[in-house]
Amino acid sequence: MAFGILTITYIVLIAVSVIGLLLLFLVKDNKARKIICFVMSGWAVIVSLFTVLSLPTNFIFTRAFALGFGFVGLAGLLIRIISKNSKQSLFASLLTAVSVVGGVIIFLMI
């Protein structure tokens, strides 16, 4: 029973990440893209916290590595907030995408 719930959790985690990243880069409206970037940055931080909280306390390097992906997501959020042109917005979206993908990979590898 527990493995079924865990499998469903993994599938939902991957589905939300893939759909969010596709929307982040395929939506043309700048306002919608900004909102999606905010949501995906929050998702990256949540996945990072899930990873950190599921690891034992003696896995310090792995926990720090997982937290690093959360900080990259926060950096993407901050850059998106203060961005003035489309290149900065694209960079913020790329940081957010790296954070989500890295966080999910670390979460699935533990």
Q: What is the domain extent for residue 51?
A: 2-109
pLDDT over 80 (residue 2): no
pLDDT over 90 (residue 86): no
The 10s digit of each residue's pLDDT in 36-57 is: 999 999 999 999 999 999 999 9
pLDDT over 90 (residue 4): no
Per-residue buried b or exposed e for 75-97, using 16+ beta carbons within 10 Å of the residue's own CB? bbbebbeebeeeeebeebbebbb
Number of domains in the chain: 1
pLDDT over 80 (residue 1): no
Supply the pTM of this predicted model: 0.90
pLDDT at 110: 80
